[in-house]
């Protein structure tokens, strides 16, 4: 099938990097969901994963490191006809952008967030990331990582995110399934995608993940406490799948004064509408 | 004849409420008003004051000479009594044990208890002021009703009546209706943004800019727009980028510290050619500085904000009316040239209310400078053009065209590049927009007699003090010309080139330590400005202060 999201563009990713699989899965899924490139905006910050918008035919936003969430949120607020997808690395999402991650979950804007989590910084060549495991030795963390890793799945569930999932770049079928579920979710959906970095992470390799990940089977996705408990499992066994899912009002539902029919950008602008406020000053 | 009333109180004693009612009543009686606030960064206690200067003639700034001091606190009397005119009056509580011919003292605290509300004190005092000026009860009642919540209207009116009984008429004011409004700088900017079609506003609260967000939020439902309080200023400005990319007219406002946090993103707006309006309501720094005071000390920072070079515009409104019209113009220029426009306001302008002619909404034109691209050729967001301005489309609203917005250096489509040739061409394309922008520039306002030996140079809210001081000198036969800049960057040079050669003495007047505009003029025109009047105490000049300082420099 001809995929309109395809673009002839050489990537700057290493051969064998998990990013390639994520890009391919995303193009396939968007096409399978019958979306058109002009209906989609793929937004990122800075990092290796964040280069993805350049490698896919759609609207794109390649912003500043850590700052994509507020930009994507406002894009969706004003231009709500667009399918807004955020595609970043874990440094972008949980490190530099940590504060925005927290507060964006509270907004529950209808957009999907794919995080390429390879537990290491790639673009800056191998320093620890917020999810690097304790003790991992790098050029900067010469005595090993001294701080505990951040658990994005637990964090998102605890903050009230309406869709929280994890997948693995090495399992195409699972990844595409989770991506579709996330894209079809109404509200903010986070998918943390485990992804090996073949150049800088010699611990969390393809084999490391392959040996550990297992698909969540018997679990009530509406049970927040159970979801949180499950999210704490990390070690010899790493669960992948949907941890938590909830239908709740999205940000736009709370803006009761906005038209439900037209996007804010289609609103006719009329200076005379503000003239009524002159009476406040007389 | 002009009058000047000072209301001094601790935070929370209700002086602001009576300032609003008093000023609006005067406005409806046809007076021109200039009222400013001097307040501390706290919610309760401290010493705050409002000064309300009013006259049948135009007033542009505050004055030191007072007719009435209404003192809610003893400190008010001590701090300001030396400013009282010879026949001026002090209204205060008899509890302060201050006596004298010009003292009107009553046991306000006890009287308030009779109204079942200790805060009724402010209404009794307002009643006294109204009676002294012989202000008709009908107008006062009407304004009080509009500005008081339902449950306090009756008790406040009774307290007002009580105050009126306690003194005799001292001044006679004449009634007159007119077509004026009374507005402060913050609200004028917010109203300008609403008129200009700003549909998305995001900010993080920060004195003295918060008034803009409050006003936008108050109107969001009626206007059908979105006001979002961001988690920090970095988020606020990135929301503005996202909203502008999405096709909305978007704005944020902050003060010095927040503007620092926005620096990187303002560079992103520059490289990605995204329109945005950013308001910096200046306060003294560095860092937290003096949160509730005024300064004009961020000019060089605004000119040089963010790394490397990109086209930008900086506008410093000179009074409330200018703030309204310049905000509308800022949105137009931002979209026409696809650049960030910073409005440099300051605390004095933000909080001072001034009588201005009712704003003209009829002649506001909104041109979005947005195109559609339905051709089969792939759309180029950053297409090379002679002016450097490329056609801009809204994502998803131009057939099946798509594009990418990038903070990296990029090619015409917006894709990352690193090659030398593209970098040079893109840099030139963007910087060419500065040349194109020059046709938009407005020369400074000229005040006083043309071509005097003495030339004053200033900008922004210093306009009020300069305007009245220059007029005073000219009345005395000392001829002075002043150029007051509103467009700061790119710097308009025509009038400077015309006036500088004719002047014998050139004096810059700025609320900063070194004379930042003077430095910029020196650099741009290779002309040395040696006489500089600067202040950096967090306050700005009254007419008298500026007059005295200028006399010294003129006659030195």
Name the helix (H) or strand (E) containing B45. strand B45-55
Left if phi > 0, otherwise alpha if psi is -120 to 50, otherwise beta: which for A160? left
A187 and chain B: CB distance < 8 Å anywhere?
no
Write out the E strands in B239-292: 249-254, 276-282
pLDDT(B373) > 80: no
Nearest CA to B453 among B526, B506, B406?
Answer: B506
Decide: B490 and B312 in contact? Cβ < 8 Å. Answer: no
Q: Does the distance separating the beta carbons of A41 and B395 come in below 8 Å? A: yes
Chain A segment 29-68 residues within 8 A of B by beta carbon are 36-39, 41, 43, 46, 51, 53-54, 57-64, 67-68
Decide: B451 and B483 in contact? Cβ < 8 Å. Answer: no
- pTM value is 0.91
DSSP state at residue A148? P
A195 and chain B: CB distance < 8 Å anywhere?
no
pLDDT(B464) > 70: yes
DSSP state at residue A186? S
Token pair listed for A47: 């990092």
The owner of tokens 């998803």 is B396
pLDDT confidence of residue A227: 98
Token pair listed for B201: 């506003």
The per-residue pLDDT for range B298-317, each reduced to its tens digit, is 999 999 999 999 999 999 99
Q: Does the distance separating the beta carbons of B220 and A265 come in below 8 Å? A: no
Token pair listed for B263: 């620096």
pLDDT(A1) > 70: no
Give the span between the Cα atoms of B245 and B393, in whole angstroms. Answer: 9
Q: Does the distance separating the beta carbons of B194 and A277 come in below 8 Å? A: yes
pLDDT(B113) > 90: no
Nearest CA to B35 among B57, B5, B10?
Answer: B5
pLDDT(A137) > 60: yes
Nearest CA to B331 among A42, A271, A95, A268?
Answer: A271
What is the distance of C-alpha A136 from the center of its chain? 25
Q: Which residues of B touch A271 (CB under 8 A)?
A: 195-197, 328, 361, 364, 366
Q: Angle at which helices B210-223 and B185-195 pack, to 10 degrees?
A: 30
- As a whole number, mean pLDDT of residues B170-178 equals 67
Q: Which residues of A touch B220 (CB under 8 A)?
A: 257
Phi, psi (rounded to 5 degrees) for B96: -75, -10
Give CA separation, B126 vs B6, B17, B161, B164, B552, in Å: 12, 10, 9, 8, 40
Token pair listed for B61: 């700034």
Nearest CA to B213 among B189, B239, B248, B246?
Answer: B189
Contacts of B138 (CB under 8 A, 6+ apart): none
**Pick among B404, B406, B414 to test the A interface (most A CBs inside 10 A):** B404
CB nearest to A79's CB, from B264, B395, B398:
B395
User: ipTM for the complex?
Assistant: 0.98
Contacts of B526 (CB under 8 A, 6+ apart): none
- Exposed/middle/buried for A254, CB within 10 Å: 0-12, 13-18, 19+? exposed
If one counts every other C-beta atom within 10 angstroms of the C-beta of residue B207, the result is 18
pLDDT(B13) > 90: no
pLDDT(B177) > 80: no
Nearest CA to B122 among B140, B109, B103, B135?
Answer: B109
pLDDT(B131) > 60: yes
Left if phi > 0, otherwise alpha if psi is -120 to 50, otherwise beta: which for B369? left
Token pair listed for A244: 């938590």
Query: Which residues share a beta bridge with A62?
Result: A44, B406
Per DSSP bridges, beta strands B404-406 and B480-485 are unpaired
Q: Does the distance separating the beta carbons of B399 and A51 come in below 8 Å? A: no
The per-residue pLDDT for range B476-497, each reduced to its tens digit, is 999 999 999 999 999 999 999 9
Q: What is the pLDDT confidence band of residue B115, given thresholds at 50, 70 and 90?
A: confident
Name the helix (H) or strand (E) containing B196. none
Decide: B101 and B52 in contact? Cβ < 8 Å. Answer: no
Q: Which string of b and e fits B43-72 if b means at least 16 CB within 10 Å?
A: eeebbbbbbbbbbeeebbbbbebbbbbbbb
Q: Which residues of B touch A9 (CB under 8 A)?
A: 415
Give the span between the Cα atoms of B93 and B82, in whole angstroms. Answer: 19
- How far the first Cα of chain B sits from its last, in Å, is 33
| Residue with more model confidence, B42 or A271 | A271
Give CA separation, A159 vs A148, A242, B454, in Å: 19, 16, 64
If one counts every other C-beta atom within 10 angstroms of the C-beta of residue B100, the result is 8
The per-residue pLDDT for range B186-231, each reduced to its tens digit, is 999 999 999 999 999 999 999 999 999 999 999 999 999 999 999 9
Give the span between the Cα atoms of A271 and B196, in whole angstroms. Answer: 6
If one counts every other C-beta atom within 10 angstroms of the C-beta of residue B186, the result is 27
Give the span between the Cα atoms of A140 and A150, in whole angstroms. Answer: 19
Phi, psi (rounded to 5 degrees) for A188: -75, 125
Q: Angle at which helices A18-32 and A172-184 pack, to 10 degrees?
A: 50
Chain B: residue whose CA lies nearest to A99: B231
Give the span between the Cα atoms of B247 and B276, in whole angstroms. Answer: 11
pLDDT(B408) > 90: yes
Assign A114 to helix, strand or coil: strand
pLDDT confidence of residue B175: 54
Length of chain A: 282
Helices H, strands E: what count in chain B?
A: 19, 21
Assign B395 to helix, strand or coil: coil
CB nearest to A274's CB, from B24, B194, B220:
B194
Decide: B382 and B270 in contact? Cβ < 8 Å. Answer: no
CB nearest to A74's CB, from B246, B362, B406:
B246
Q: Which residues of A touch B366 (CB under 8 A)?
A: 269, 271
If one counts every other C-beta atom within 10 angstroms of the C-beta of residue B118, the result is 12
Give the span between the Cα atoms of B166 and B131, in whole angstroms. Answer: 9
pLDDT confidence of residue B489: 98
pLDDT confidence of residue B218: 97
Long-range contacts of B215-221 (CB under 8 A, 24+ apart): B215/B186, B215/B187, B215/B190, B215/B191, B216/B190, B219/A274, B219/A277, B219/B190, B219/B194, B220/A257, B221/A257
CB nearest to A61's CB, from B245, B368, B394:
B245
């Amino acid at each position: 099938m001809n995929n309109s999201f395809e673009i002839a563009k050489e990537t700057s990713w290493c051969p064998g990097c998990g990013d390639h699989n994520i890009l391919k899965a995303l193009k396939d899924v968007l096409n399978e969901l019958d979306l058109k490139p002009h209906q989609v905006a793929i937004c990122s910050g800075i990092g290796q994963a964040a280069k993805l918008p350049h490698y896919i035919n759609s609207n794109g936003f390649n912003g500043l490191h850590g700052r994509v969430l507020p930009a994507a949120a406002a894009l969706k607020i004003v231009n709500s006809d667009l399918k807004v997808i955020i595609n970043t690395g874990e440094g972008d999402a949980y490190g530099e952008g940590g504060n925005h991650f927290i507060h964006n979950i509270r907004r529950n804007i209808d957009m999907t967030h794919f995080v390429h989590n390879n537990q290491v910084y790639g673009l800056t060549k191998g320093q620890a990331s917020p999810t690097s495991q304790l003790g991992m030795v790098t050029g900067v963390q010469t005595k090993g990582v001294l701080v505990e890793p951040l658990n994005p799945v637990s964090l998102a569930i605890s903050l009230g995110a309406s869709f929280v999932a994890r997948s693995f770049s090495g399992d195409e079928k699972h990844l595409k399934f989770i991506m579709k579920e996330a894209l079809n979710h109404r509200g903010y959906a986070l998918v943390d995608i485990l992804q090996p970095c073949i150049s800088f992470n010699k611990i969390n390799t393809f084999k490391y993940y392959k040996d550990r990940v297992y698909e969540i089977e018997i679990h009530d996705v509406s049970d927040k406490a159970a979801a949180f408990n499950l999210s704490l499992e990390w070690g010899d066994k790493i669960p992948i799948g949907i941890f938590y899912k909830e239908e709740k009002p999205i940000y736009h539902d709370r803006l009761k004064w906005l038209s439900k029919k037209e996007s804010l950008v289609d609103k006719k602008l009329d200076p005379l509408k503000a003239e009524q406020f002159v009476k406040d000053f007389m | 004849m002009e009058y000047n009333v000072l209301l001094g109180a601790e935070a929370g004693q209700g002086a602001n409420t009576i300032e609003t009612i008093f000023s609006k009543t005067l406005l409806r009686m046809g007076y021109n008003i200039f009222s400013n606030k001097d307040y501390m960064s706290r919610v309760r206690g401290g010493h705050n004051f409002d000064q309300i200067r009013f006259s049948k003639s135009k007033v542009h700034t505050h004055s030191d000479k007072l007719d009435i001091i209404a003192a809610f606190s003893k400190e008010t009397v001590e701090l300001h009594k030396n400013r009282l005119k010879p026949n001026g009056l002090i209204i205060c509580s008899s509890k302060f044990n201050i006596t004298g011919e010009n003292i009107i003292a009553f046991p306000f605290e006890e009287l308030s208890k009779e109204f079942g509300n200790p805060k009724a004190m402010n209404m009794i005092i307002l009643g006294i002021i109204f009676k002294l000026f012989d202000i008709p009860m009908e107008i006062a009642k009407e304004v009080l009703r509009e500005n008081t919540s339902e449950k306090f209207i009756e008790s406040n009116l009774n307290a007002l009546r009580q105050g009126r009984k306690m003194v005799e008429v001292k001044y006679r004011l004449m009634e007159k209706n007119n077509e004026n409004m009374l507005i402060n700088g913050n609200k004028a900017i917010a109203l300008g943004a609403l008129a200009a079609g700003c549909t998305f506003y995001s900010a993080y609260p920060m004195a003295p800019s918060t008034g803009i967000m409050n006003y936008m939020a108050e109107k969001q439902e009626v206007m059908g727009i979105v006001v979002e309080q961001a988690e920090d200023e970095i988020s606020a400005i990135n929301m503005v980028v996202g909203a502008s990319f999405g096709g909305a007219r978007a704005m944020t406002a902050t003060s010095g510290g927040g503007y620092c946090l926005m620096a990187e993103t303002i560079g992103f707006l520059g490289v990605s050619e995204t329109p945005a309006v950013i308001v910096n309501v200046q306060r003294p720094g560095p860092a937290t500085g003096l949160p509730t005071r005024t300064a004009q000390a961020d000019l060089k920072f605004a000119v040089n904000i963010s790394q490397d070079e990109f086209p930008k515009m900086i506008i410093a409104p000179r009074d409330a009316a200018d703030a309204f019209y310049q905000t509308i113009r800022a949105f137009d220029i931002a979209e026409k040239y696809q650049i960030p426009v910073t409005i440099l306001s300051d605390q004095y302008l933000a909080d001072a209310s001034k009588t201005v002619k009712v704003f003209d909404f009829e002649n506001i034109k909104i041109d979005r400078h947005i195109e559609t691209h339905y051709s089969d050729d792939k759309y180029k967001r950053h297409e090379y053009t002679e002016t450097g301005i490329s056609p801009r489309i809204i994502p998803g609203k131009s057939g099946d065209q798509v594009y990418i917005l990038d903070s990296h250096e990029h090619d015409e489509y917006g894709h990352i590049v690193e090659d030398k040739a593209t970098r040079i061409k893109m840099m030139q394309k963007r910087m060419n927009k500065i040349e194109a922008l020059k046709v938009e520039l407005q020369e400074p306002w000229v005040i006083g007699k043309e071509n005097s030996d003495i030339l004053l140079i200033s900008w922004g809210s210093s306009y009020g003090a300069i305007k009245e001081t220059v007029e005073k000198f000219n009345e005395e036969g000392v001829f002075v010309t002043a150029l007051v800049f509103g467009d700061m960057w790119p710097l308009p040079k025509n009038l400077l080139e015309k006036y500088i050669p004719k002047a014998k003495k050139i004096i810059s007047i700025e609320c900063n330590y070194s004379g930042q505009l003077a430095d910029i003029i020196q650099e741009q025109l290779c002309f040395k400005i040696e006489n500089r009047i600067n202040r950096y105490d967090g306050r700005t000049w009254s007419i008298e202060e500026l007059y005295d300082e200028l006399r010294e420099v003129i006659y030195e």
